[in-house]
Amino acid sequence: MKKLFPVFTLALIQFLCSCQNQESSEKEMPTVVATTSILGDAVSVLLEGVDSVQTLALMGPGVDPHLYKPSQGDITQLSNANLIVYNGLRLEGKMQGVLEKLKNKPVFAAGKALNEGDLINATEFGGAYDPHIWFDPLLWKQVIKGLSEKLKKQFPQYLAQIEKNEQTYQQKLDILHRNTILLLDNIQEDQRILVTAHDAFKYFGRVYQIQVEGLQGISTTAEYGIKDVGLLADLIAENSIKAIFVESSVPKRSIEAVLNACESRGAQVVLGGELYSDALGGPDSNADTYLKMFQHNVETITTALQ
């Protein structure tokens, strides 16, 4: 019996150790933490089929990144991340301080993957550039390329898989761009004015030749006044714009104020639907990936303005 004790103890120690190992390996699974759902989608696409790296997006569907304040849990997730993916053009305005502190960790800033000459100036936005770069698929292709390079460097064991994913996705982005041009061709020249709650669509407007007017500025933190509502309503009335749009991540009351002002001017304008601007939709929205979100927006805009 005495001999059994050490054997039993050894087995117990081995058992405890194996439990501990299993637990720590789960905890230590490499993680890429993205700030927004749109960036999280980009990471997921490139890491498709790579089961041993997990992707996490801090902001869920409908969350406004301009106003989002990181929780203690978010800060822990960011601190433990193997790679942090963020916009880099002050999109996550309230996370600036936290991101600044983590700059010595491996990070990928989407905006830094682009040439400054391709960015839209936004002097009213703290002298920075317009951060809504995802609304030009040609720019987004460059972001995907840069992100792919970063992921391959960070996880070289999955280089071939990431490369394959990138190639497939770049082709899908090309198709999206071509289809968008064709769809938007249905809108007559005088109706190519997109009115939304905030200025998220300037890159979209630039690449597809659509005039873009937002009630709020580049960031939703900017206040709008009765004067802004009136000026926008004048523009809508003067141009006989058929429809204006709400955004999923911005309260609807701002665009409703514009609609009311239009009504008092006798303008025949309707709500054209909901666009996804700074966040993807939820799992049942049919806008839960970048490609689907973009397609939804283009179809909604075309249907309302053609």
- Judged by the rule CB under 5 A, the positions of this chain that interact with Zn ion are 200, 278
**2 CB neighbour count, 10 Å cutoff:** 5
Q: Which is nearer to Zn ion, 136 or 278 (CB)?
A: 278
Amino acid at 277: S
Q: Taking a C-beta distance cutoff of 8 angstroms, is the pair 47, 55 a contact?
A: yes
Cα angle: 52, vertex 56, 57; to 5 degrees: 160
Name the minimum Å distance from CB 219 to Zn ion.
6
Q: Which is nearer to Zn ion, 248 or 300 (CB)?
A: 248
Nearer to Zn ion, 46 or 70 (CB): 70
Residue 111 or 262 with smaller CB distance to Zn ion: 111
Smallest gap from residue 129 Cβ to Zn ion (A): 13
Query: Per DSSP, what are the bridge partners of residue 86?
Result: 109
Nearer to Zn ion, 83 or 200 (CB): 200
Least CB distance to Zn ion at residue 102 (A): 22
Q: Confirm if 265 and 234 have CB atoms less than 8 A apart.
A: yes
Q: How far is the CB of 278 from Zn ion (least distance, A)?
A: 4
> Smallest gap, in angstroms, from Cβ of residue 62 to Zn ion?
13
CA distance 59 to 37: 6
